[in-house]
A and B are shown apart, each in its own frame.
Chain A
Amino acid sequence: MRADESGPERDSQGPAYIPGAESEPLPIAPDADEGVRAGSAVPTAAGEGFGSRLRKGVLAAVALGGLLGGTARYALGLAFPTPEATFPLTTFAINVSGSFLLALLLVYVLEIWPPTRYVQPFAAIGFLGSFTTFSTWMVDTDRLLVDGHYAAAAFNVFGSLFAGLAATGLGLAIGRIALARRARLAALRGHARRYGWWVR
C-alpha cells in the first residue's frame, strides 16, 4: 500500500488532497459523527446532555440504511442457504464484501467527497453496519465447535478475520489510488478540488 503512494505526483504540490504520508492517522471510527471527529467528545460544561447530540435526521438515515442492509443480508441468506454444520459461506462472503465496501466508502466520505450529513449515517453506519454481522459469526463458530467440526470452526474464525482485514486493506488501497488520481487530474486542470454533482 505504501509503494503506490510515492510517485512523481507527490512533487506537484497540489491542494491538500494528495494522499498524506503513511503516518497520517486514518479517520476516526466510522461510527463517530462530526461532533466527535471535531474533538468535542468531552462532555460540555454548558449542561448540554447526550440527547441533544442525536439528530432526528441522522437517526432516520441510520434506520433506513439498517432496514435495507438487514433485509439484503436476510435475502442473501435465503437465496444462498448454507447447510447446518458446514462452513457458513454466505455470512463469510457478506462480511468480507461489506468490509471492503466500508473501507472504500470511508475513503470517499472522509477524504474525497465534501462533508455531507447523511451519507455516512445512511451508507456506512446504517447499511454496511447492518449488512455485516458479528453475532452470527460467533454463534456459527460455537455451533461448529459443539458439533465437533473443529477445522471448519477454526477456518470460520481466522478465515473471516484475515479475509476481512485483507478486504479492508484492499478497499483503503483502492480508495487511495482514486484519491491520488483525482489529485493528479485536479492539478492538471488547475482546479483546487472537484466536487461531485450532488453537492449543494
Chain B
Amino acid sequence: MITVLAVGVAAALGAVARYVLNQYVQYRSPSTFPRGIWLINITGSFVLGLLVGLGARHGLPEQVLTVGGVGFCGAYTTFSTFSYDLVRLCKERRVGKSVLYGASSLTAGLLTAAAGLVIGSL
C-alpha cells in the first residue's frame, strides 16, 4: 500500500517536472519542433535504463526501482503527447519535421536507454 502511494507521489513529481521543463524549453526557444518533450523523453529513458541496470547488477532495492522507474520516469516521459505531436506536425504539412521527430526520438531514446543500462550495470 505504501508503495502505491509512493508511486503516486513520484508520478505527480514526474508530471510536474515534465510540465515545468517543457514550458521552460518553449519559453527559452519557441519552435514548432517539440524540443521540450523530445528532451524529456530522452533523459527519462536514460534515467530509467540506469535504474534498471542498477537493479539488475547492483541490487538496487525493488521498491526504489518501482518508485523511481514506474512512478517518476514513467510519468515524466510520455507517449501520448509524442504521438499527438507526430500527427499534428503531419497535419500542419510539416511531414519532414514529423518524421525527423519520430526517428530521432526513437533512435536517441533506444541509445540513451541502452547507455543507461550499460552504465548502470558496470
Question: Do A63 and B48 form a contact, CB below 8 Å, given A74-B4, A95-B80, A134-B109?
Answer: no
Number of chain B interface residues as a range: 35 or more
Complex contact B4–A75 (CB within 8 A): yes
User: How many residues of chain A are within 8 Å of chain B by beta carbon?
Assistant: 69
Name which residue of chain A comes closest to B105, CB basis. A134
A99 to B79 CA separation, bound complex (whole angstroms): 7
Q: Scoring B residues 7 to 23 as 1 if CB is less than 8 Å from chain A, else 0, what string do you get?
A: 11111111110111011
Task: Report the minimal beta-carbon distance from A138 to chain B, rounded to whole angstroms.
Answer: 4
A75 to B36 CA separation, bound complex (whole angstroms): 28
Task: Report the minimal beta-carbon distance from A99 to chain B, rounded to whole angstroms.
Answer: 4
Complex contact B87–A172 (CB within 8 A): yes
> What is the interface of chain B, defined by CB distance below 8 A to chain A?
4, 7-16, 18-20, 22-24, 26-28, 30, 34, 36-37, 41, 44-45, 47-49, 52, 66, 69-71, 73-88, 91-93, 102, 105-106, 109-110, 112-114, 116-117
Given contacts A31-B18, A33-B23, A157-B110, 19 further A-B contacts (CB under 8 A): A26-B87, A31-B22, A54-B23, A66-B14, A66-B75, A70-B74, A70-B75, A74-B8, A95-B79, A102-B84, A129-B78, A132-B80, A133-B74, A136-B73, A138-B48, A138-B49, A138-B110, A139-B52, A139-B116
